[in-house]
Amino acid sequence: MRFFLALALIAATIGTVNAADIWTNNITVSEYNMTWGYTETFTGNESILYRFYIDNELGNNDSFINAWEVLKADKEMRKKLKGLLDAEPDVKINNETVGIEVIDIDSTLSPELFGKTHSVDAIVNRYNVTYRFRESIFNASSIWFMGQANTSVNIVLPEGVDVTDTVGMSNVSKSITNYTMISGFFKDISAGRGEITLGLEKNTSVRLPEINITSPPDMDNKTEGNVTKPLTEAMTRVRDISIFVVGAVIILLIYIFKIRRK
């Protein structure tokens, strides 16, 4: 996100406040989906302001935060985040938002919120947004992210995708294992807004798993060799045993009938 969720609500209610002490972004891109995790941390006076907002604007203003007030704040944060994303998407593929859908928004507010509002204990809130792509990321030439300027970001891309260019990120570091990770900070573009664009290219040397629906792997041969033959043999044995049992019963009945006649 391009600004801090909690303080955006507080500022709208009680005036201008400083930014969160720490705001981090962790983005994981898969072939057809993506998760963006945000973590915001408040300490000192900022944490007091946050508690004050919840108690006064969402609670009963008794200088104490209860479970129902935290649940209400959680709902408010999700609503705010959804509104921000609906107003301006923060992800683009090939410079377009078409084919990108937000399918889930989750938040976990700090358990340290419970208790007295004047507490200076650190508050750590976590938010997660899940996106779905209509097209495979392997076919994309670029991916764009909008975030809060000067905040740290880790971007993980799947195996088979190479990063050819990085724009809008400072202190860039890159590591490649069975995936690619790009780490750095959102550059300040304007008014606290940061934008990062990664140039992408499919790595043709990486063999990606393929599912051949029309030609399943030799299941007919396996069935015929490993299943049909033993089943036929078993049925033959059952038939032979049945014939033997029926014959024995007939002989026994004839014997009993003769004894009774005598």
Q: Do 174 and 221 share a domain, yes or no?
A: no
Q: Do 181 and 226 share a domain, yes or no?
A: no
Residue pair 179/158 in contact by the 8 Å Cβ criterion: yes
Give the SS3 label for residue 33: strand
Report the C-alpha gap between 115 and 137 in whole angstroms.
45
Considering 181, 202, 223, which residue would you say is the last residue of a domain? 202
Q: In the prediction, which pLDDT does 60 show?
A: 94
Structure tokens at 55: 């108690």
Q: Do 15 and 126 share a domain, yes or no?
A: yes
Residue pair 65/119 in contact by the 8 Å Cβ criterion: no
Report the C-alpha gap between 87 and 72 in whole angstroms.
23
Q: Do 50 and 132 share a domain, yes or no?
A: yes
Report the C-alpha gap between 38 and 30 in whole angstroms.
18
Report the C-alpha gap between 218 and 224 in whole angstroms.
10
Q: Do 129 and 251 share a domain, yes or no?
A: no
Question: Could you give the C-alpha distances from 30 to 35, 73, 171, 224, 228, in angstroms and in order?
Answer: 9, 31, 24, 39, 42
End-to-end CA distance of the chain: give it in Å, rounded. Answer: 103
> Number of structural domains, the chain?
2
Q: Give the Cβ contact number of residue 59 at 10 Å.
A: 20
Report the C-alpha gap between 114 and 203 in whole angstroms.
49
Categorize the per-residue pLDDT at 251 as very low, low, confident or very high, splitting at 50, 70 and 90. low
Question: Could you give the C-alpha distances from 63 to 49, 135, 227, in angstroms and in order?
Answer: 12, 50, 72
Q: In the prediction, which pLDDT does 122 show?
A: 94
Residue pair 63/116 in contact by the 8 Å Cβ criterion: yes
Q: Do 14 and 134 share a domain, yes or no?
A: yes
pLDDT digits (tens, 9 = 90+) for 43-88: 988 899 999 999 999 999 999 999 999 999 999 999 999 999 999 9
Considering 177, 202, 227, which residue would you say is the last residue of a domain? 202
Structure tokens at 87: 């107003």
For residue 59, how far is the Cα from the chain centroid?
31
Considering 202, 223, 244, which residue would you say is the last residue of a domain? 202
Q: Do 34 and 105 share a domain, yes or no?
A: yes
Q: Do 54 and 144 share a domain, yes or no?
A: yes
Domain region containing 248: 211-262
Q: Do 138 and 217 share a domain, yes or no?
A: no
Q: Do 73 and 110 share a domain, yes or no?
A: yes
Categorize the per-residue pLDDT at 34 as very low, low, confident or very high, splitting at 50, 70 and 90. very high
Report the C-alpha gap between 220 and 71 in whole angstroms.
56
Report the C-alpha gap between 195 and 206 in whole angstroms.
29
Q: Do 198 and 240 share a domain, yes or no?
A: no
In the numeric block, the tokens 């400072």 are attached to 170
Q: Give the Cβ contact number of residue 147 at 10 Å.
A: 25
Residue with the larger pLDDT of the pair 247 and 176: 176
In terms of Cα–Cα distance, which of 83, 109, 189, 104 is closest to 145?
A: 189
Q: Do 180 and 225 share a domain, yes or no?
A: no
Categorize the per-residue pLDDT at 15 as very low, low, confident or very high, splitting at 50, 70 and 90. very low
